[in-house]
Structure 1
Amino acid sequence: MAGPDRRWFLPDLDAAVLWCDERNRQGISCSISPLGEYVQDRDAAREAASECRAAVRAVEAHALDASVAVKLSALGAVFDRDGCMAHLGRIMDEAKRRGVRVEIDMEGRNLVDFTLAAAGRMAGEGHRVTLAVQAYLQRAAADLGAMEEAGIRPRLVKGAYLGDTRNFELIQQQFRALAASLLSSRTPFSVGTHDPDLVEWLTAHAESRDLVEFGFLMGLADQTKTAMAADGWKVSEYVPYGRRGSIYEARRLQYLDRLRDLGRSPLP
Protein backbone atom coordinates (compact mmCIF):
# COMPACT_ATOMS: atom_id res chain seq x y z
CA MET A 1 0.00 0.00 0.00
CA ALA A 2 0.99 3.65 -0.27
CA GLY A 3 3.68 5.08 1.98
CA PRO A 4 3.23 7.88 4.51
CA ASP A 5 3.60 10.56 1.82
CA ARG A 6 0.39 9.21 0.28
CA ARG A 7 -1.71 8.97 3.41
CA TRP A 8 -4.73 10.81 2.07
CA PHE A 9 -4.84 10.02 -1.65
CA LEU A 10 -3.19 8.02 -4.40
CA PRO A 11 -1.43 9.29 -7.53
CA ASP A 12 -3.62 7.78 -10.24
CA LEU A 13 -6.38 5.37 -11.20
CA ASP A 14 -4.04 2.40 -11.54
CA ALA A 15 -2.90 2.86 -7.95
CA ALA A 16 -6.50 3.20 -6.80
CA VAL A 17 -7.44 -0.07 -8.54
CA LEU A 18 -4.59 -1.94 -6.85
CA TRP A 19 -5.46 -0.43 -3.47
CA CYS A 20 -9.13 -1.30 -3.86
CA ASP A 21 -8.33 -4.85 -4.90
CA GLU A 22 -6.32 -5.31 -1.71
CA ARG A 23 -9.07 -3.80 0.42
CA ASN A 24 -11.62 -6.09 -1.22
CA ARG A 25 -9.51 -9.07 -0.15
CA GLN A 26 -9.90 -7.79 3.41
CA GLY A 27 -13.69 -7.67 3.05
CA ILE A 28 -13.75 -3.87 2.59
CA SER A 29 -15.46 -2.21 -0.36
CA CYS A 30 -14.21 1.08 -1.80
CA SER A 31 -15.54 4.32 -3.16
CA ILE A 32 -12.94 5.57 -5.61
CA SER A 33 -12.97 9.25 -6.47
CA PRO A 34 -11.00 11.30 -9.00
CA LEU A 35 -9.73 14.38 -7.15
CA GLY A 36 -10.87 17.80 -8.25
CA GLU A 37 -13.58 20.27 -7.30
CA TYR A 38 -14.87 23.76 -8.06
CA VAL A 39 -13.46 23.84 -11.57
CA GLN A 40 -13.80 27.13 -13.42
CA ASP A 41 -13.89 26.21 -17.12
CA ARG A 42 -15.53 23.76 -19.46
CA ASP A 43 -12.33 21.99 -20.45
CA ALA A 44 -11.63 21.12 -16.80
CA ALA A 45 -15.22 19.92 -16.35
CA ARG A 46 -14.96 17.68 -19.44
CA GLU A 47 -11.67 16.27 -18.15
CA ALA A 48 -13.22 15.54 -14.74
CA ALA A 49 -16.20 13.81 -16.34
CA SER A 50 -13.88 11.72 -18.50
CA GLU A 51 -11.94 10.69 -15.38
CA CYS A 52 -15.15 9.60 -13.69
CA ARG A 53 -16.17 7.48 -16.68
CA ALA A 54 -12.69 5.93 -16.76
CA ALA A 55 -13.12 5.03 -13.09
CA VAL A 56 -16.45 3.36 -13.86
CA ARG A 57 -14.84 1.31 -16.62
CA ALA A 58 -11.98 0.31 -14.33
CA VAL A 59 -14.35 -0.91 -11.60
CA GLU A 60 -16.07 -3.19 -14.11
CA ALA A 61 -12.87 -4.32 -15.84
CA HIS A 62 -11.24 -5.38 -12.57
CA ALA A 63 -14.43 -6.76 -11.00
CA LEU A 64 -13.96 -4.50 -7.97
CA ASP A 65 -16.38 -4.22 -5.09
CA ALA A 66 -16.42 -0.46 -5.50
CA SER A 67 -18.49 2.56 -6.34
CA VAL A 68 -17.36 5.78 -8.02
CA ALA A 69 -17.76 9.03 -6.08
CA VAL A 70 -18.53 12.21 -8.03
CA LYS A 71 -18.34 15.88 -7.03
CA LEU A 72 -20.70 18.05 -9.06
CA SER A 73 -18.47 21.10 -8.65
CA ALA A 74 -15.83 19.15 -10.60
CA LEU A 75 -18.34 18.76 -13.44
CA GLY A 76 -18.96 22.50 -13.71
CA ALA A 77 -21.86 23.03 -11.29
CA VAL A 78 -20.61 26.45 -10.17
CA PHE A 79 -20.73 28.00 -13.64
CA ASP A 80 -22.67 25.72 -16.03
CA ARG A 81 -25.38 23.64 -14.38
CA ASP A 82 -26.84 22.38 -17.63
CA GLY A 83 -23.41 21.20 -18.70
CA CYS A 84 -22.88 19.62 -15.30
CA MET A 85 -26.14 17.68 -15.62
CA ALA A 86 -25.15 16.50 -19.09
CA HIS A 87 -21.79 15.24 -17.75
CA LEU A 88 -23.49 13.55 -14.79
CA GLY A 89 -26.04 11.89 -17.05
CA ARG A 90 -23.31 10.38 -19.22
CA ILE A 91 -21.45 9.12 -16.15
CA MET A 92 -24.63 7.57 -14.75
CA ASP A 93 -25.54 5.99 -18.08
CA GLU A 94 -22.12 4.35 -18.34
CA ALA A 95 -22.33 3.20 -14.72
CA LYS A 96 -25.76 1.68 -15.32
CA ARG A 97 -24.55 -0.20 -18.40
CA ARG A 98 -21.61 -1.59 -16.48
CA GLY A 99 -23.40 -2.34 -13.20
CA VAL A 100 -21.33 0.13 -11.17
CA ARG A 101 -22.68 2.15 -8.24
CA VAL A 102 -22.29 5.94 -8.18
CA GLU A 103 -22.14 8.14 -5.09
CA ILE A 104 -22.61 11.91 -5.30
CA ASP A 105 -20.70 13.93 -2.72
CA MET A 106 -22.46 16.83 -1.00
CA GLU A 107 -20.38 19.98 -1.06
CA GLY A 108 -20.83 23.58 0.06
CA ARG A 109 -24.14 25.10 1.11
CA ASN A 110 -24.58 26.90 -2.23
CA LEU A 111 -24.74 23.55 -4.04
CA VAL A 112 -27.03 21.59 -1.71
CA ASP A 113 -30.32 22.30 -3.54
CA PHE A 114 -28.81 21.66 -6.95
CA THR A 115 -27.09 18.47 -5.81
CA LEU A 116 -30.29 17.12 -4.25
CA ALA A 117 -32.23 17.93 -7.42
CA ALA A 118 -29.56 16.35 -9.64
CA ALA A 119 -29.55 13.14 -7.59
CA GLY A 120 -33.35 13.07 -7.66
CA ARG A 121 -33.38 13.43 -11.43
CA MET A 122 -30.88 10.59 -11.84
CA ALA A 123 -32.88 8.35 -9.50
CA GLY A 124 -36.04 9.22 -11.43
CA GLU A 125 -34.33 8.03 -14.61
CA GLY A 126 -33.71 4.64 -13.03
CA HIS A 127 -30.14 5.08 -11.83
CA ARG A 128 -28.82 3.77 -8.50
CA VAL A 129 -27.66 6.82 -6.58
CA THR A 130 -26.13 7.36 -3.16
CA LEU A 131 -26.03 10.93 -1.88
CA ALA A 132 -24.34 12.38 1.19
CA VAL A 133 -26.49 14.25 3.72
CA GLN A 134 -24.73 16.54 6.19
CA ALA A 135 -25.72 16.41 9.85
CA TYR A 136 -24.47 19.94 10.53
CA LEU A 137 -27.25 21.42 8.37
CA GLN A 138 -30.62 22.06 9.99
CA ARG A 139 -32.31 21.07 6.74
CA ALA A 140 -30.88 17.54 6.86
CA ALA A 141 -34.03 15.83 8.21
CA ALA A 142 -36.14 17.35 5.43
CA ASP A 143 -33.52 16.39 2.86
CA LEU A 144 -33.59 12.81 4.10
CA GLY A 145 -37.34 12.73 3.58
CA ALA A 146 -36.96 14.03 0.03
CA MET A 147 -34.24 11.47 -0.67
CA GLU A 148 -36.38 8.60 0.61
CA GLU A 149 -39.26 9.71 -1.61
CA ALA A 150 -36.94 9.91 -4.63
CA GLY A 151 -35.34 6.52 -4.00
CA ILE A 152 -31.89 7.91 -3.21
CA ARG A 153 -29.69 5.94 -0.82
CA PRO A 154 -28.38 8.23 1.94
CA ARG A 155 -24.82 8.46 3.21
CA LEU A 156 -24.94 10.27 6.54
CA VAL A 157 -21.91 12.42 7.35
CA LYS A 158 -21.19 15.21 9.81
CA GLY A 159 -20.11 17.64 7.07
CA ALA A 160 -16.73 18.99 5.98
CA TYR A 161 -17.69 22.43 4.64
CA LEU A 162 -19.40 25.44 6.29
CA GLY A 163 -22.59 24.33 8.04
CA ASP A 164 -25.21 25.78 10.38
CA THR A 165 -23.18 24.97 13.48
CA ARG A 166 -19.65 24.08 14.53
CA ASN A 167 -20.76 22.88 17.96
CA PHE A 168 -19.31 19.37 18.13
CA GLU A 169 -21.82 17.97 20.62
CA LEU A 170 -24.77 19.45 18.75
CA ILE A 171 -23.59 17.90 15.49
CA GLN A 172 -23.24 14.56 17.28
CA GLN A 173 -26.83 14.88 18.56
CA GLN A 174 -28.14 15.72 15.10
CA PHE A 175 -26.21 12.83 13.58
CA ARG A 176 -27.68 10.38 16.10
CA ALA A 177 -31.20 11.73 15.53
CA LEU A 178 -30.89 11.31 11.76
CA ALA A 179 -29.38 7.84 12.13
CA ALA A 180 -32.14 6.83 14.55
CA SER A 181 -34.75 7.90 12.00
CA LEU A 182 -33.10 5.80 9.30
CA LEU A 183 -32.77 2.80 11.61
CA SER A 184 -36.42 2.99 12.63
CA SER A 185 -37.52 3.11 8.99
CA ARG A 186 -35.20 0.19 8.22
CA THR A 187 -33.84 2.14 5.26
CA PRO A 188 -30.43 0.79 4.20
CA PHE A 189 -27.91 3.60 4.50
CA SER A 190 -24.23 4.43 4.80
CA VAL A 191 -22.48 6.55 7.39
CA GLY A 192 -19.20 8.38 7.11
CA THR A 193 -17.64 9.10 10.49
CA HIS A 194 -14.47 8.43 12.48
CA ASP A 195 -16.11 9.47 15.75
CA PRO A 196 -15.73 6.64 18.30
CA ASP A 197 -18.88 7.72 20.12
CA LEU A 198 -21.05 7.59 17.00
CA VAL A 199 -19.67 4.30 15.75
CA GLU A 200 -20.23 2.74 19.17
CA TRP A 201 -23.78 4.12 19.25
CA LEU A 202 -24.56 2.81 15.77
CA THR A 203 -23.21 -0.68 16.38
CA ALA A 204 -25.26 -0.86 19.57
CA HIS A 205 -28.51 0.32 17.96
CA ALA A 206 -28.39 -1.33 14.51
CA GLU A 207 -30.61 -4.41 14.70
CA SER A 208 -29.10 -5.85 11.52
CA ARG A 209 -25.56 -5.66 10.21
CA ASP A 210 -27.00 -5.54 6.71
CA LEU A 211 -28.71 -2.21 7.38
CA VAL A 212 -25.70 0.07 7.86
CA GLU A 213 -22.48 0.42 5.89
CA PHE A 214 -19.65 2.13 7.79
CA GLY A 215 -17.59 4.37 5.54
CA PHE A 216 -14.12 5.59 6.44
CA LEU A 217 -11.53 7.74 4.73
CA MET A 218 -8.29 6.43 3.36
CA GLY A 219 -5.63 7.44 5.88
CA LEU A 220 -7.79 7.06 8.99
CA ALA A 221 -9.21 4.25 11.16
CA ASP A 222 -7.26 1.44 9.46
CA GLN A 223 -7.42 -0.83 12.51
CA THR A 224 -11.13 -0.17 12.89
CA LYS A 225 -11.87 -0.92 9.22
CA THR A 226 -10.29 -4.33 9.23
CA ALA A 227 -11.65 -5.28 12.66
CA MET A 228 -15.22 -4.31 11.79
CA ALA A 229 -15.07 -6.10 8.42
CA ALA A 230 -13.75 -9.22 10.14
CA ASP A 231 -16.62 -8.95 12.62
CA GLY A 232 -19.21 -9.03 9.84
CA TRP A 233 -20.04 -5.33 9.45
CA LYS A 234 -20.30 -3.71 6.04
CA VAL A 235 -17.27 -1.46 5.66
CA SER A 236 -16.18 0.82 2.85
CA GLU A 237 -13.21 3.12 2.30
CA TYR A 238 -13.16 6.40 0.39
CA VAL A 239 -10.16 6.29 -1.96
CA PRO A 240 -9.35 9.57 -3.77
CA TYR A 241 -6.67 9.76 -6.41
CA GLY A 242 -5.12 12.19 -8.87
CA ARG A 243 -2.95 15.27 -9.07
CA ARG A 244 -5.31 17.83 -7.54
CA GLY A 245 -5.27 16.81 -3.89
CA SER A 246 -4.16 19.97 -2.08
CA ILE A 247 -7.63 21.22 -1.13
CA TYR A 248 -8.77 17.76 -0.13
CA GLU A 249 -5.67 17.19 2.01
CA ALA A 250 -6.09 20.59 3.67
CA ARG A 251 -9.60 19.62 4.81
CA ARG A 252 -8.28 16.39 6.31
CA LEU A 253 -5.57 18.24 8.22
CA GLN A 254 -8.07 20.85 9.42
CA TYR A 255 -10.25 18.00 10.69
CA LEU A 256 -7.39 16.57 12.73
CA ASP A 257 -6.52 20.03 14.06
CA ARG A 258 -10.13 20.53 15.10
CA LEU A 259 -10.17 17.22 16.97
CA ARG A 260 -6.94 18.12 18.77
CA ASP A 261 -8.45 21.44 19.82
CA LEU A 262 -11.39 19.49 21.29
CA GLY A 263 -9.08 17.02 23.02
CA ARG A 264 -10.43 14.15 20.93
CA SER A 265 -9.01 11.55 18.56
CA PRO A 266 -10.46 9.66 15.57
CA LEU A 267 -10.89 5.91 15.63
CA PRO A 268 -7.57 4.04 15.44
Structure 2
Amino acid sequence: MILDRFRLDGQVAVVTGAGRGIGAGTALALAECGADVLISSRTEGQLKDVAAQIEALGRRAVVVPADLSDLDAVASLATRAAEELGRLDIVVNNVGGTIPNAFLDTTPDYLEEAFRFNVSTAHALTRAAVPLMLADADLPNGSAGAVVNISSVMGRLADRGYLAYGTAKAALAHWTRLAARDLDPHIRVNGIAVGSVMTSALEFVAGDPATKEAMEAATPLRRIGEVEDIAATAVFLASQAGGYLTGKVVEVDGGLSHPNLSLGLSDLVPGGAS
Protein backbone atom coordinates (compact mmCIF):
# COMPACT_ATOMS: atom_id res chain seq x y z
CA MET A 1 0.00 0.00 0.00
CA ILE A 2 1.40 3.38 -0.98
CA LEU A 3 0.08 4.96 2.22
CA ASP A 4 2.28 2.60 4.23
CA ARG A 5 5.31 4.51 2.98
CA PHE A 6 4.14 7.51 5.01
CA ARG A 7 3.97 5.50 8.22
CA LEU A 8 6.53 6.18 10.97
CA ASP A 9 5.61 3.42 13.38
CA GLY A 10 8.28 2.70 15.97
CA GLN A 11 10.34 5.75 15.07
CA VAL A 12 11.41 8.64 17.29
CA ALA A 13 11.60 12.27 16.26
CA VAL A 14 12.94 15.50 17.73
CA VAL A 15 11.19 18.71 16.71
CA THR A 16 12.56 22.09 17.78
CA GLY A 17 10.48 25.21 18.12
CA ALA A 18 7.52 22.89 18.70
CA GLY A 19 5.42 24.92 21.12
CA ARG A 20 3.27 26.44 18.38
CA GLY A 21 2.97 27.08 14.65
CA ILE A 22 4.89 24.95 12.16
CA GLY A 23 6.84 23.12 14.87
CA ALA A 24 3.74 22.08 16.79
CA GLY A 25 1.89 21.11 13.61
CA THR A 26 4.82 19.02 12.42
CA ALA A 27 5.19 17.25 15.76
CA LEU A 28 1.50 16.32 15.68
CA ALA A 29 1.71 15.13 12.08
CA LEU A 30 4.67 12.88 12.87
CA ALA A 31 2.80 11.46 15.85
CA GLU A 32 -0.30 10.86 13.74
CA CYS A 33 1.88 8.79 11.40
CA GLY A 34 3.18 6.70 14.30
CA ALA A 35 6.26 8.43 15.72
CA ASP A 36 7.04 9.23 19.33
CA VAL A 37 8.23 12.82 19.61
CA LEU A 38 10.51 14.90 21.80
CA ILE A 39 9.39 18.51 21.54
CA SER A 40 11.33 21.56 22.68
CA SER A 41 10.92 25.32 22.78
CA ARG A 42 11.20 28.07 25.32
CA THR A 43 7.63 28.00 26.70
CA GLU A 44 6.74 24.96 28.81
CA GLY A 45 2.99 25.62 28.86
CA GLN A 46 2.76 25.53 25.07
CA LEU A 47 4.81 22.34 24.93
CA LYS A 48 2.55 20.63 27.47
CA ASP A 49 -0.50 21.46 25.34
CA VAL A 50 1.17 19.93 22.27
CA ALA A 51 2.29 16.90 24.28
CA ALA A 52 -1.27 16.27 25.42
CA GLN A 53 -2.39 16.22 21.79
CA ILE A 54 0.42 13.82 20.86
CA GLU A 55 -0.56 11.49 23.71
CA ALA A 56 -4.20 11.66 22.62
CA LEU A 57 -3.00 10.16 19.33
CA GLY A 58 -1.59 7.22 21.27
CA ARG A 59 2.06 8.25 21.01
CA ARG A 60 4.66 9.18 23.61
CA ALA A 61 5.81 12.77 24.05
CA VAL A 62 8.80 14.18 25.92
CA VAL A 63 8.69 17.87 26.81
CA VAL A 64 11.99 19.76 27.09
CA PRO A 65 11.69 23.49 27.76
CA ALA A 66 14.95 25.13 26.69
CA ASP A 67 16.57 28.22 25.26
CA LEU A 68 17.38 26.76 21.85
CA SER A 69 19.74 29.58 20.97
CA ASP A 70 22.07 27.80 23.42
CA LEU A 71 23.94 25.34 21.18
CA ASP A 72 24.71 22.96 24.03
CA ALA A 73 21.05 22.89 25.00
CA VAL A 74 19.85 22.16 21.47
CA ALA A 75 22.50 19.47 20.95
CA SER A 76 21.46 17.73 24.17
CA LEU A 77 18.00 17.03 22.75
CA ALA A 78 19.40 14.17 20.68
CA THR A 79 20.69 12.24 23.68
CA ARG A 80 17.57 13.04 25.66
CA ALA A 81 15.38 11.55 22.93
CA ALA A 82 17.46 8.37 22.73
CA GLU A 83 17.50 7.97 26.50
CA GLU A 84 13.80 8.56 27.10
CA LEU A 85 12.27 7.18 23.90
CA GLY A 86 14.79 4.47 23.09
CA ARG A 87 16.24 5.61 19.77
CA LEU A 88 16.41 8.53 17.33
CA ASP A 89 15.36 8.46 13.68
CA ILE A 90 14.10 11.92 12.68
CA VAL A 91 15.28 15.46 13.38
CA VAL A 92 13.20 18.47 12.38
CA ASN A 93 15.24 21.64 12.70
CA ASN A 94 12.41 24.14 12.92
CA VAL A 95 13.69 26.63 15.48
CA GLY A 96 14.80 29.88 13.90
CA GLY A 97 13.58 33.21 12.60
CA THR A 98 14.83 36.78 12.67
CA ILE A 99 12.85 40.01 12.94
CA PRO A 100 13.11 42.09 9.73
CA ASN A 101 15.37 45.11 9.97
CA ALA A 102 16.51 48.01 7.80
CA PHE A 103 20.00 47.70 6.31
CA LEU A 104 21.67 50.34 8.49
CA ASP A 105 20.05 48.82 11.58
CA THR A 106 21.41 45.37 10.71
CA THR A 107 24.65 45.32 12.67
CA PRO A 108 27.28 42.63 12.17
CA ASP A 109 26.26 41.19 15.54
CA TYR A 110 22.62 41.04 14.40
CA LEU A 111 23.67 39.18 11.26
CA GLU A 112 25.78 36.73 13.25
CA GLU A 113 22.92 36.12 15.69
CA ALA A 114 20.61 35.33 12.77
CA PHE A 115 23.11 32.79 11.42
CA ARG A 116 23.57 31.22 14.85
CA PHE A 117 19.84 30.90 15.53
CA ASN A 118 18.93 29.56 12.09
CA VAL A 119 22.00 27.56 11.02
CA SER A 120 24.27 26.79 13.97
CA THR A 121 21.34 25.37 15.94
CA ALA A 122 20.53 22.96 13.10
CA HIS A 123 24.16 21.91 12.85
CA ALA A 124 24.53 21.39 16.60
CA LEU A 125 21.46 19.17 16.89
CA THR A 126 22.12 17.19 13.71
CA ARG A 127 25.77 16.62 14.62
CA ALA A 128 24.70 15.24 18.00
CA ALA A 129 21.96 13.12 16.41
CA VAL A 130 23.97 11.40 13.67
CA PRO A 131 25.87 8.86 15.85
CA LEU A 132 22.62 7.92 17.57
CA MET A 133 20.82 7.47 14.26
CA LEU A 134 23.60 5.26 12.90
CA ALA A 135 23.69 3.18 16.07
CA ASP A 136 20.09 2.01 15.64
CA ALA A 137 19.82 1.87 11.87
CA ASP A 138 17.21 -0.76 11.06
CA LEU A 139 14.81 1.22 8.90
CA PRO A 140 13.78 0.12 5.39
CA ASN A 141 16.39 0.11 2.62
CA GLY A 142 19.26 0.51 5.09
CA SER A 143 18.22 4.03 6.06
CA ALA A 144 19.32 5.32 9.43
CA GLY A 145 16.92 8.23 9.44
CA ALA A 146 16.12 11.66 8.13
CA VAL A 147 16.77 15.32 8.86
CA VAL A 148 14.28 18.01 7.79
CA ASN A 149 15.31 21.65 7.92
CA ILE A 150 12.77 24.47 7.87
CA SER A 151 14.14 27.17 5.59
CA SER A 152 12.26 30.00 3.87
CA VAL A 153 11.31 31.38 0.49
CA MET A 154 13.34 34.44 1.50
CA GLY A 155 16.44 32.31 1.17
CA ARG A 156 16.05 32.58 -2.61
CA LEU A 157 13.97 35.77 -3.10
CA ALA A 158 14.95 39.34 -2.27
CA ASP A 159 13.24 42.35 -0.73
CA ARG A 160 14.15 45.11 1.67
CA GLY A 161 14.42 44.34 5.35
CA TYR A 162 15.13 40.64 5.06
CA LEU A 163 18.92 40.76 4.80
CA ALA A 164 19.72 38.92 8.04
CA TYR A 165 16.79 36.50 7.86
CA GLY A 166 17.15 35.74 4.16
CA THR A 167 20.91 35.31 4.35
CA ALA A 168 20.57 32.87 7.25
CA LYS A 169 17.83 30.87 5.55
CA ALA A 170 19.82 30.72 2.32
CA ALA A 171 22.75 29.40 4.34
CA LEU A 172 20.50 26.78 5.92
CA ALA A 173 19.31 25.69 2.48
CA HIS A 174 22.87 25.18 1.26
CA TRP A 175 23.88 23.57 4.56
CA THR A 176 21.12 21.07 3.74
CA ARG A 177 22.72 20.24 0.39
CA LEU A 178 26.22 19.95 1.83
CA ALA A 179 25.21 17.92 4.88
CA ALA A 180 23.31 15.52 2.63
CA ARG A 181 26.55 14.70 0.81
CA ASP A 182 28.42 14.27 4.09
CA LEU A 183 25.77 11.91 5.47
CA ASP A 184 24.70 9.84 2.49
CA PRO A 185 23.83 7.07 1.91
CA HIS A 186 22.33 6.28 5.33
CA ILE A 187 20.97 9.61 6.58
CA ARG A 188 18.87 11.76 4.28
CA VAL A 189 18.92 15.54 4.71
CA ASN A 190 16.27 17.71 3.07
CA GLY A 191 14.68 21.07 3.65
CA ILE A 192 11.48 23.02 3.13
CA ALA A 193 11.53 26.57 1.77
CA VAL A 194 8.44 27.86 3.50
CA GLY A 195 6.34 30.63 1.97
CA SER A 196 3.82 32.76 3.83
CA VAL A 197 2.13 30.62 6.49
CA MET A 198 -0.33 32.25 8.87
CA THR A 199 1.35 31.63 12.20
CA SER A 200 1.86 34.08 15.05
CA ALA A 201 5.18 35.08 13.49
CA LEU A 202 3.48 36.19 10.26
CA GLU A 203 0.69 37.91 12.18
CA PHE A 204 3.38 40.11 13.70
CA VAL A 205 3.81 41.85 10.33
CA ALA A 206 0.67 40.89 8.40
CA GLY A 207 -2.12 40.71 10.89
CA ASP A 208 -4.52 43.23 9.38
CA PRO A 209 -7.06 42.13 6.71
CA ALA A 210 -5.83 44.56 4.03
CA THR A 211 -2.27 43.25 4.23
CA LYS A 212 -3.49 39.66 4.18
CA GLU A 213 -5.63 40.31 1.09
CA ALA A 214 -2.69 41.96 -0.68
CA MET A 215 -0.47 38.97 0.12
CA GLU A 216 -3.09 36.55 -1.18
CA ALA A 217 -3.44 38.54 -4.40
CA ALA A 218 0.33 38.43 -4.91
CA THR A 219 0.47 34.64 -4.40
CA PRO A 220 -0.22 32.48 -7.47
CA LEU A 221 -2.43 30.09 -5.47
CA ARG A 222 -4.28 33.11 -3.99
CA ARG A 223 -4.07 32.01 -0.38
CA ILE A 224 -1.79 32.12 2.62
CA GLY A 225 -0.33 28.78 3.54
CA GLU A 226 -1.54 26.63 6.42
CA VAL A 227 0.62 24.89 9.01
CA GLU A 228 -0.62 21.57 7.66
CA ASP A 229 0.90 22.34 4.24
CA ILE A 230 4.33 22.35 5.84
CA ALA A 231 3.65 19.50 8.26
CA ALA A 232 2.53 17.22 5.43
CA THR A 233 5.71 17.99 3.49
CA ALA A 234 7.81 17.26 6.58
CA VAL A 235 6.13 13.86 6.95
CA PHE A 236 6.85 13.12 3.28
CA LEU A 237 10.52 14.02 3.65
CA ALA A 238 10.93 12.15 6.95
CA SER A 239 9.21 8.97 5.80
CA GLN A 240 9.94 6.34 3.17
CA ALA A 241 7.50 8.18 0.91
CA GLY A 242 10.40 10.58 0.38
CA GLY A 243 13.03 7.89 0.65
CA TYR A 244 14.66 8.71 -2.71
CA LEU A 245 15.23 12.38 -1.85
CA THR A 246 18.28 13.86 -0.20
CA GLY A 247 19.98 17.22 -0.48
CA LYS A 248 16.78 18.82 -1.77
CA VAL A 249 14.93 21.93 -0.62
CA VAL A 250 11.23 21.64 -1.45
CA GLU A 251 9.55 24.98 -2.14
CA VAL A 252 6.17 25.04 -0.38
CA ASP A 253 5.24 28.65 -1.06
CA GLY A 254 2.05 28.87 -3.10
CA GLY A 255 4.04 29.36 -6.29
CA LEU A 256 5.88 32.55 -5.35
CA SER A 257 8.44 33.93 -7.78
CA HIS A 258 8.74 37.24 -5.91
CA PRO A 259 8.02 38.30 -2.31
CA ASN A 260 4.37 38.86 -1.43
CA LEU A 261 4.98 41.04 1.63
CA SER A 262 6.70 44.40 1.36
CA LEU A 263 7.83 46.04 4.56
CA GLY A 264 7.58 49.47 2.95
CA LEU A 265 11.12 50.54 3.80
CA SER A 266 12.07 53.80 2.11
CA ASP A 267 15.06 54.54 -0.08
CA LEU A 268 18.34 55.59 1.44
CA VAL A 269 19.31 59.01 0.10
CA PRO A 270 22.51 61.07 0.05
CA GLY A 271 23.09 63.20 3.10
CA GLY A 272 21.88 60.59 5.60
CA ALA A 273 18.13 61.29 5.40
CA SER A 274 15.68 58.58 4.37
- Give the TM-score category using the shorter length: 0.3 to 0.5
Structure with the greater relative contact order (CA < 8 A, sep ≥ 6): 1 or 2?
Answer: 1
